[in-house]
Amino acid sequence: MHEPKRDELTVRQERVILVGALLPGEDHGGEAPLDELQRLAETAGARVAGRLTQKLPHIDPRTYIGQGKAEELRDLCLAEDADAVLCDHDLSPAQVRNLERVTEAKVLDRSEVILDIFATRAKSRQAKVQVELAQLEYTLPRLTRMWSHLDRLGAGIGTRGPGERQLETDRRVITRRMAHMRRELADIASRKVRESAARSGEFRVCLVGYTNAGKSTLLNALTGTNDAFVEDRLFATLDTKTRTWELDGSHRALLSDTVGFIRRLPHHLVASFHATLEEAIDADLLIHVIDVSHRDCVHQAEVVRQVLEEIGCGAHMVLNAFNKCDVALPTVEADLLAASLPDHVRISALRGDGLGELRARVLHLIAQRETRVTVRAHCGNGRLLALLHELANVLASSSEDEQVTLEARVEPRHLPALRGAAGPSDAIIVHPAAPLHAAAGKA
């Protein structure tokens, strides 16, 4: 019998059949069960030739969808001249092998499709290392089933004899490579810790959201740059970008974009991309970008909330930005989302609508974070007085003889500069900071 070739886990330029097991209680939101898998397949470059679904109380441990449905899938693959089958759940090695024997087509599961997309989209060294580590973690337990040619080298069940020795060699190579990747990611993480410490006084804002919600477009619009890659596809960007967001004359924030979330994001991908997601973990504020033009916006917002909980951001302050309002039609889902998240800002990152209100909301939160200071300076210290008016919000001032007293609010990151400009007879009194209220809500 023809054995499908599995030495390359790719779906590019192939005709594929989408397959899904419909399980009790599984939530697909407002979408048809395989709609998101189809968008993933198209993002990976495949051409969808057909769909097949099967209602089941649980996933079949041998063939994922049951023997009868697997034979129906074989006939559909023959009729559509399909090269591969894409399954909407993660499969065990045995399920992959059994389905391939029945259909005589390459079988890929959901994680393999996402990994393929990530591999093509990774640009920075960090993203490439993270993708490779995730691929190796996925591949290692599947070596016996993937190397189907090796079972013909031995003299027993599976891969005994020379094949067994080859598998052990491959396992050792992959294990060593994974250890090297983890060390490199640890070095990257260490650098990020140092970079984070260097900007600890900055107000850090991180854009989070479902993939294709418009985060990169919003990053470009808020920072006045065009270097964040934008495309109407899932996982258009993987690399975290951080840019300076000038809020007004005396306030700015560091604005970061992150990899988009998705329903059933594979756990090994979350683990591999932990260094990327640390931008969200370390942020002072998360802006949750929600595509309200999508019919599944309620479910997508819930998926993001769950992933934020998973990576340790459940208690972070969140400002919800309802994006693509210029093309969103009134729907029950959008009304339900607005009712559940009443403290939101409606924007269009593409047209620029609502960005002023978004900026004002962030400025309000920064004002709550600012420290109140009393500065007593000699009137001849023009450098300190000019710096104070440039970096702080001066609330009141008074003068007596040759001394000027000013009450101001200033971001903590500016205090070293003010102290450096103070003379021996000047005084900067820092008052206890007020707590940052959760005016934007919780994740």
As a whole number of angstroms, the distance between CA 381 and CA 151 comes to: 83
The answer to whether the CB of 411 falls within 8 A of the CB of 388 is no
Sheet strand arrangement including 106-108: 47-55, 15-22, 84-87, 106-108
**Which residues have CB under 8 Å from 369's CB, separation 6+?**
203, 284, 411, 412, 433, 436
The 3-state DSSP class for residue 298 equals helix
Q: Do domains 201-366 and 370-430 have the same CATH topology?
A: no
CATH number of 15-114: 3.40.50.11060
As a whole number of angstroms, the distance between CA 107 and CA 92 comes to: 11
Alpha-carbon separation of residue 412 from 102, 254, 443 (angstroms): 65, 15, 26
* Residue corresponding to tokens 């691929």: 135
The pLDDT score that the predictor gives to residue 293 is: 92
The pLDDT score that the predictor gives to residue 368 is: 78
The answer to whether the CB of 182 falls within 8 A of the CB of 261 is no
**Which residues have CB under 8 Å from 411's CB, separation 6+?**
201, 203, 251, 366, 369, 370, 371, 391
The pLDDT score that the predictor gives to residue 202 is: 74
As a whole number of angstroms, the distance between CA 134 and CA 117 comes to: 12
Distance between the two ends of the chain, CA-based, in angstroms?
53
Residue 53 backbone phi and psi in degrees, to 5: -125, 155
The pLDDT score that the predictor gives to residue 112 is: 86
The pLDDT score that the predictor gives to residue 325 is: 93
The pLDDT score that the predictor gives to residue 200 is: 57
The class of domain 370-430 in CATH terms is: alpha beta
**Which residues have CB under 8 Å from 438's CB, separation 6+?**
317
Domain chopping of the chain, boundaries: 15-114, 137-196, 201-366, 370-430
The answer to whether the CB of 262 falls within 8 A of the CB of 111 is no
Which amino acid is residue 206, in one-letter code?
Answer: C
The 3-state DSSP class for residue 17 equals strand
The CATH fold assigned to 201-366 is: Rossmann fold (3.40.50)
The pLDDT score that the predictor gives to residue 311 is: 77
Q: Which residues pair with 86 in a beta bridge?
A: 18, 108
The pLDDT score that the predictor gives to residue 39 is: 87
From first to last of the 443 residues of the chain, give the pLDDT tens digit. Answer: 455 555 555 555 689 999 999 988 776 555 677 888 898 898 888 899 999 999 999 999 999 999 999 999 999 999 999 999 999 998 988 899 899 999 999 999 988 888 888 777 777 787 788 888 888 888 787 765 554 444 444 433 333 445 456 677 788 888 899 899 889 888 877 776 666 655 556 788 999 998 888 998 999 999 988 765 555 556 656 667 788 999 887 678 889 887 777 777 766 666 656 656 667 888 889 999 999 998 889 988 998 898 888 778 888 899 999 999 999 888 888 888 999 998 899 999 999 999 999 999 998 888 877 888 999 998 888 899 888 887 788 888 898 888 999 998 887 778 888 888 898 888 998 887 554 444 455 44
The answer to whether the CB of 258 falls within 8 A of the CB of 313 is no
As a whole number of angstroms, the distance between CA 370 and CA 364 comes to: 10
Neighbours of 190 (CB within 10 A): 11
The pLDDT score that the predictor gives to residue 287 is: 95
Alpha carbons within 13 A on the beta-carbon side of 224: 4
